[in-house]
Structure 1
Amino acid sequence: MEMTVAEALVRCLEKENVEVIFGYPGGAMLPIYDSLYRFSSIKHVLVRHEQGAVHAADGYARVTRKVGVCMATSGPGATNLVTGIANAYMDSIPLVIFTGQVPTVQIGTDAFQEVDITGITMPITKHNYLLKDPTKLATVVKNAFHIAATGRPGPVLIDIPKDVAQAKIDFKYPKTVHLRGYKPTYRGHPYKIQTIAKLIKESRRPLIYAGGGVISSNAEQELLQLAETISAPVTNTFMGLASFPGDHPLFLGMLGLHGTRYANLAVTECDLLIGIGARFDDRVTMNIKAFAPNATVIHIDIDPAEIGKIVETHVPLVGDVKNILTALLPLLEKIDRSEWDARIRELKEQYPLTYSRTNGLKPQFIIEQLCALTRGEALVVTDVGQHQMWVAQYYHFRSPGTLVSSGGLGCMGFGLPASVGAQIGRPNQQTILVTGDGSIQMTIQELGTMVEQGLPIKIIILNNFALGMVRQLQEFYCEGRYMATNFKFHPDFAQLAKAYSIPGYTFKTDEDVLKTLPEVLSAPGPAIINCLIPPEENVTPMVLAGKGIHEAIEC
């Protein structure tokens, strides 16, 4: 059937079962947007900034475990996507991004709104395409969705010149993908799996270190079964939170820079560290020489490039987490490790998470109350900073995949648009954004998108009139010289909410939280809660630069 490339693209998206696109139009994208209007019922969400489109697609992908899709025009439209693409790449989130481009005859002439977006994004995409041959559209789209979703997931970008979008082709969508050299390993080596089973049986103090790969692989139930079978405590990376029940007796919380002290000490004392879908990043390991010094290290990951990259690995195993755990579990028997269990209980009792209840409304208290009121079942989205770490420490996630946050890139401004995508992806689950007064202002215009889409997102702003995490770092590393981290002016966020027809509240005391938070959470529709917290409140524990994770301090 003959049609334009723009119309064929719409048909391709329908073949890939795309339900929603987040985007912002422009001149180079007019043929594609016109085809969406004329030929498709795919839902399009008009954001207020292109960065909002890619973050919303990211949030949607995380909660649905589908490929997120976004669009932007050429030039500044495309470059405004770069931060969000890098964020998805760092966190292994499957996205397909479509950008408009100037006509092919103008490429390389510095035409109006021309930019080499494929060149710019080459280091931060799993793969990208500049589509110059109209007849290759269907194959490129099919390949893009396959690459984004398979192996270690990631973003794929397709740049489409305007004249290519207007060209006519005979459309036929391929049924299969043929990519020479791209064959991810899904099945773990049987001998390595048997070796791991043997090491587990022989160990006295095994510990499971689980990351975001568990969530990407849908392996939460297999992780739980493994931990209970071998009586091994579980600690999560930040990206791995919500892969293991936060109220389970075997759960140690997050480890690393701002991890629980008992998780960090347990890693230090374990004799077998089973790394599953995690990449041993710097915020986890800190001083590598002091990381798990007594342990035989097992590393299970679908990306062979991650194994042995940071920490010496004694038993590497490449493959899909769910497949490997499914093959491993029948080789294991129920093991009683009463001595190790007793030591874990001792560490938890000796080094609990604590904070002072004096000097104003404490953010830890707010998160504790939020967790209690939602029973750890809400879909929680965060921005980046102190509030993000307080959520990691004090919100005990009970349901798989219910934390949406920027991990590897640490991208302020992620939270609000990501919560839009997350709520659209899970319309029947309560979505709560916990953000900071710095982060919320980076993409605050997406309140318009939220209201326009009728999304009942509750927004909690932990407002300390500061860039809190940077301020905390200045306290420790700059002798308290707070340069460019304290805000002298903020809008009244509760009043700003009303400008967007959203109910707004200001919390100053514990009583405000106890009295009003339950009412706000149970009310229909969106809300913004401006929580005034002390600027000097720090995230603790904290591991200082150069120290081992067992040397965390309370401050």
Structure 2
Amino acid sequence: MAEVLYASPSSACLEMSVMLTGSQVFAKELKSLGIHYVAGIPGSGSSSLVEALRTPGADIPFIQVMQEQSAVHMADGYFRACGRPMAALLPTPLRRTKALGAIATALADRSAMLVIGGEQAPGLPGVFEPPVMPQNASPSQLKVGKARLSVTGIEKLPAILRKGFETMVSGDAGPVTLDISLDVQGQSIDIKGARSTNRIAAGIAKRPDPQVLQQISERLRNAQRPVLLGGGGVIAHEVTGQLLELAEAFQLPVVTTAQGKGAFPEDHPLSMGALGLAPDDPVNLLVSRADVVIAIGCALNGAPHQTSPDSGARPGVSQTLITVDDEKRPHPGSQYVQITLTGDLESSLSGLCATIDTPQRKALRRLRAPLCKSLSALREARDQSLIAIVSSDAAPLSAQRPLHELRLVLERDAILVVGAGSLQAAVRQAFPVYLPRCHLCAGGAGEVGWAVPAAIGAKLAMPARQVVCVVGDGDFLQSMQEMAVCVMHTIPVVFVVFNNSGYASLSQLHAERNANHLGGEFNLPDGKPYSPDFAVIARSFGLDAWRVEHGSQLNAVLTKAINSKGPSLVEVITARIRPAPQA
């Protein structure tokens, strides 16, 4: 228990005799723990906490959002972009907040944050009374996030905050919720001689089993069609360098999950891109036909190449699946796993690289030369098929066309925040990512309305980087009011809204099941597509905005948006995707 995870920007001891309220102690402790932003909505049970953020010695900016869940999504995007947590402050008790779905999203995708719920102020009408829980309710039914903490006395506040931070980053990162009563907020304490600690200890890293390392090394060396599958855990544990070394040492073609996109540079000769949504996607087929798959930092949802419960593909009976993770966890696809390596990911990957010496590496390079040649041909064929799509000026545009143009005008380390639905599949296909934490998407829960506030959080985390939010129009409608936050705080995010008058993924799903009922589309009574003018709406919020209907406009408009001094929006009219009629 000795590793320092967070350091206070100012770690001086508090030696003067000063009376502070619980809210002021809260603010100072947040500062000492490295919290640089708090997002949320003030309420009757949390207004003193918001006011205390201005306390000298704290001075933490408060970002007021328009909806409760946006505060949590913003903290989610912040953590994904930089690996450091921020805090979300909600105006209502956590048991009845509208942000529960947002907390669930952060939990599913392992995003650490502190979520503070305000207490109901006394004297409010009975409609605000908390619901009565069943007498046989278990504590787990009351739990929100990774852990739920409560402060019952001001003297316990610093220790509980540190416990919350330790909990949110230990093991699988996740949101920790905290209740601070009005009594604690208003109590005062003399902090003379009190020492504010900025050390949060982590347990000693578990070393991988040397025998298992050798077993895996032998399987990888003898494999005829190996594949390395990189997941979000590679990025979370900051072992992308070790992943690159492992791939090059064993000459392994690399595929990533959606959350792992960016864990391996997609312009590397061994990169095969990200898993697709369809079972017959070329990358998915590559994984399904491999004789050895080593999955690193992945939360498997079945066979390693399965991306949905409807996927009919299954690995061959002779396929060896190896999982490498920081801790042993139950996988829904555990029936496919033959070898499991559990331990610190950095030690595991470095240990695997150490099992193969220079002569063996050279021999493997010669042995795998035909495989690498065939992979190169596969990549070229895939790229050629994509060129036909991204070069088409047919109106309405395909989703891939603006993504391709966007990649051309963005810097290599730009951060792309992707909305929910089928747009994620287009991004995996047409937008290569070269560095970790440059591709952010809501994976496990697929929360609609996540992308806009998450992009704002990413820009707060990495202000020197370009941050672009690509989002469908249906998704955008659920959180577009947060554009006001960008204007009020001068946060220059670029929003690219793909407007096809509806939820594309839902429209396609309904069309496949019932050709006469296209649920998910936005239509007028006469069947014509309906859509608000998002560029006009954005301008009314104070953003620079453009509307694109033809491919020839893309380069110039996207360049203007990226070079805008403040937040900007580009609305792109894209095609509705409807499946071909069944014979």
Q: TM-score, normalised by structure 1?
A: 0.89
1:236-247 equivalent positions in 2, closer than 5 A: 236-247=256-267
**Is 1:191 aligned to residue 214 of structure 2?**
no
Q: Equivalent residue for 2:448?
A: 412
Alignment check: 8 A CA contact 2:53 2:61 kept: no
Q: Give unmatched runs, 5+ long, in structure 2.
A: 1-16, 525-529
Q: Equivalent residue for 2:14?
A: none
Q: CA deviation at 1:490?
A: 2.6
**Is 1:317 aligned to residue 335 of structure 2?**
no
Shifted more, 278-287 versus 450-459: the winner is 278-287
Q: CA deviation at 1:446?
A: 0.3
Q: CA deviation at 1:374?
A: 1.5
Q: Give unmatched runs, 5+ long, in structure 1.
A: 541-553
Q: Equivalent residue for 1:500?
A: 541
Q: CA deviation at 1:528?
A: 1.1
CA distance in structure 2 between the partners assigned to 1:417 and 1:77 by the alignment? 22
2:577 to 508, 518, 536: 536
**Is 1:460 aligned to residue 496 of structure 2?**
yes
Q: CA, structure 1 residues 347+285, in 2 after alignment: closer, same or farther (shift >3 Å)?
A: farther
CA distance in structure 2 between the partners assigned to 1:530 and 1:273 by the alignment? 41
Q: CA deviation at 1:322?
A: 2.3
2:31 to 4, 14, 17: 14
Alignment check: 8 A CA contact 1:244 1:400 kept: yes
Q: How many residues align?
A: 536
Alignment check: 8 A CA contact 2:165 2:200 kept: no
Alignment check: 8 A CA contact 1:301 1:321 kept: yes
Q: Equivalent residue for 1:523?
A: 564
**Is 1:29 aligned to residue 46 of structure 2?**
yes
- SS of equivalent residue, structure 1 residue 101: coil
Q: CA deviation at 1:4?
A: 2.4
Q: Equivalent residue for 1:294?
A: 318
Q: CA deviation at 1:11?
A: 1.9
- SS of equivalent residue, structure 1 residue 438: helix
Q: CA deviation at 1:415?
A: 0.9
Percentage of matched positions with identical amino acids:
24
Alignment check: 8 A CA contact 2:301 2:333 kept: no
Q: Equivalent residue for 2:172?
A: 152
Q: Equivalent residue for 1:547?
A: none
Q: CA, structure 1 residues 480+390, in 2 after alignment: closer, same or farther (shift >3 Å)?
A: farther
The one-letter code matched in structure 2 to 1:29 is S
Q: CA, structure 1 residues 150+315, in 2 after alignment: closer, same or farther (shift >3 Å)?
A: same
CA distance in structure 1 between the partners assigned to 2:48 and 2:465 by the alignment? 36
Q: Residues 385-441 of structure 1: CA distance to partner in whole angstroms, max 9, x if unpaired?
A: 222221121100112210121111001111111111111111111111101110111
Rg larger in 1 or in 2? 2
**Is 1:54 aligned to residue 72 of structure 2?**
yes
CA distance in structure 2 between the partners assigned to 1:447 and 1:94 by the alignment? 24
CA distance in structure 2 between the partners assigned to 1:113 and 1:47 by the alignment? 25
Q: CA, structure 1 residues 169+191, in 2 after alignment: closer, same or farther (shift >3 Å)?
A: farther
- SS of equivalent residue, structure 1 residue 151: coil
Q: Equivalent residue for 1:70?
A: 88
CA distance in structure 1 between the partners assigned to 2:462 and 2:95 by the alignment? 27
**Is 1:330 aligned to residue 354 of structure 2?**
yes
**Is 1:142 aligned to residue 178 of structure 2?**
no
The one-letter code matched in structure 2 to 1:519 is K
Q: CA, structure 1 residues 28+470, in 2 after alignment: closer, same or farther (shift >3 Å)?
A: same
CA distance in structure 2 between the partners assigned to 1:455 and 1:368 by the alignment? 25
**Is 1:447 aligned to residue 465 of structure 2?**
no
Alignment check: 8 A CA contact 2:494 2:562 kept: yes
The one-letter code matched in structure 2 to 1:328 is L
1:402 to 427, 438, 445: 438
Q: Residues 178-220 of structure 1: CA distance to partner in whole angstroms, max 9, x if unpaired?
A: 9xxx968543223222222222222222110111001100111
CA distance in structure 1 between the partners assigned to 2:562 and 2:515 by the alignment? 40
Q: CA deviation at 1:265?
A: 1.8
- SS of equivalent residue, structure 2 residue 52: helix
The one-letter code matched in structure 1 to 2:471 is T
The one-letter code matched in structure 1 to 2:543 is I
Q: CA deviation at 1:174?
A: 5.4
Q: Residues 316-354 of structure 1: CA distance to partner in whole angstroms, max 9, x if unpaired?
A: 122232232122222224221123223323433555554
- SS of equivalent residue, structure 2 residue 107: helix
Q: CA deviation at 1:125?
A: 1.4
- SS of equivalent residue, structure 2 residue 295: strand
Alignment check: 8 A CA contact 1:56 1:419 kept: yes
Shifted more, 495-504 versus 481-490: the winner is 481-490
1:219 to 239, 246, 252: 239
CA distance in structure 2 between the partners assigned to 1:494 and 1:207 by the alignment? 44
2:290 to 242, 247, 270: 270
Q: CA deviation at 1:521?
A: 2.4
Q: Residues 35-80 of structure 1: CA distance to partner in whole angstroms, max 9, x if unpaired?
A: 2233421121111111111111111111111112111122489612
| Root mean square deviation, CA, Å | 3.0
Q: Equivalent residue for 1:41?
A: 59
CA distance in structure 1 between the partners assigned to 2:435 and 2:516 by the alignment? 40
The one-letter code matched in structure 2 to 1:459 is F
- SS of equivalent residue, structure 1 residue 439: helix
Q: TM-score, normalised by structure 2?
A: 0.85
Q: CA, structure 1 residues 74+521, in 2 after alignment: closer, same or farther (shift >3 Å)?
A: closer
CA distance in structure 2 between the partners assigned to 1:131 and 1:42 by the alignment? 21
Q: Equivalent residue for 1:544?
A: none
Alignment check: 8 A CA contact 1:253 1:259 kept: no
**Is 1:387 aligned to residue 407 of structure 2?**
no
